[in-house]
Amino acid sequence: MHKILKKTQLSPDVVQFEVEAPLICNSWKAGNFIIFRIHEEGERVPLTIADSNSENGSITIIVQGIGKSTKHLVSLNEGDVIQDIVGPLGNPTHIEKYGTCVIMGGGVGTAEAYPIAKALKEAGNKMIAIVGARNKELVIMEEELKSIGVDVKVSTDDGSHGHHGLVTDILQKLMDSEKVDFVLAIGPLPMMRAVSEMTRKDGITTMVSLNSVMVDGTGMCGACRVTVGGKTHFVCVDGPEFDGHQVDYKELGQRQRIYLADEKESLERFLHKDGACQGK
């Protein structure tokens, strides 16, 4: 059992938790993730480790309430417990002194970008973070990134905070004004693909985190299969980060659409089972 020590609401549907996990607290590195299971019959859900506190043996996780299990998790409060937390899992981010690094976070991807930005900063890099969200209310981790010495630039779809437009607009301006040595993008697939195409022409080392396609986190289910450089990989055991210039985004997008279509079809079958939608 893992006790929730602190709960902080970051945005309307995004919550930050500090959870007891002493073994993971002392062994994780930036880029690692955990899998939680709220109760005995709960599903396994992967989440990136955002931070840790060795004084109380806790790790920090940030979760957006979207599906059944994540909505259940965000409904829990301080003092409640999570039955299982397994980790650290996945391969940690490769950290070195590149020079000028740009970390790009779209939506809740910013939470995953934070520990990597922190590690790169500690390695002596100049750090710039580009944070994107639909509106000001949904921007997260801005102050946390600033507190560790990261130059934060914000972009919102509606212009309510920072740049009115896309995160790629800001990246292009940076690339035009100074030498960028490394880029890491974490967020929606179209954003990561667009970033990779922008940096390809200048030969900028670019990594993307594909953790959003993971399901069981062990490589057994095959849901996170991806082609990188013409070879098949599984995000949860071979990643979650890959060379953004080598990812087959077209195939990955098609796979995601298949899963969404299957999920929709399953829901429709359930709703119509035994004439449920017909009032029987």
Range 57-65 average pLDDT: 93
The answer as to whether 46 is a domain residue is yes
User: Can you give the three-state secondary structure of the chain, one letter per residue?
Assistant: CEEEEEEEEEECCEEEEEEECHHHHCCCCCCCEEEEECCCCCCCEEEEEEEEECCCCEEEEEEECCCHHHHHHHHCCCCCEECEEEEEECCCCCCCCCCEEEEEEECCHHHHHHHHHHHHHHCCCEEEEEEEECCHHHCCCHHHHHHCCCEEEEEECCCCCCEECCHHHHHHHHHHHCCCCEEEEECCHHHHHHHHHHHHCCCCEEEEECHHHCCCCCCCCCCCEEEECCEEEEHHHHCCEEECCCECHHHHHHHHHHHHHHHHHHHHHHHHHHHHHHCC
* Number of domains making up the chain: 2
At 270, the pLDDT band (50, 70, 90 cuts) reads very low
Q: Are both 69 and 47 inside the same structural domain? A: yes
Pick from 58-62, 217-221, 228-232, 240-244: least confident: 217-221
Of the candidates 89, 118, 146, which is a domain's last residue? 89
Range 40-60 average pLDDT: 91
Q: Are both 67 and 108 inside the same structural domain? A: no
Domain range for 156 is 100-256
Q: Are both 76 and 104 inside the same structural domain? A: no
Q: Are both 80 and 121 inside the same structural domain? A: no
Of the candidates 68, 89, 110, which is a domain's last residue? 89
Pick from 46-60, 126-140, 160-174, 209-223: least confident: 209-223
At 259, the pLDDT band (50, 70, 90 cuts) reads low
The answer as to whether 243 is a domain residue is yes
Q: Are both 117 and 203 inside the same structural domain? A: yes
Of the candidates 62, 89, 116, which is a domain's last residue? 89
pLDDT digits (tens, 9 = 90+) for 70-120: 899 999 999 999 999 998 999 999 999 999 999 999 888 888 899 999 999
The answer as to whether 207 is a domain residue is yes
The answer as to whether 167 is a domain residue is yes
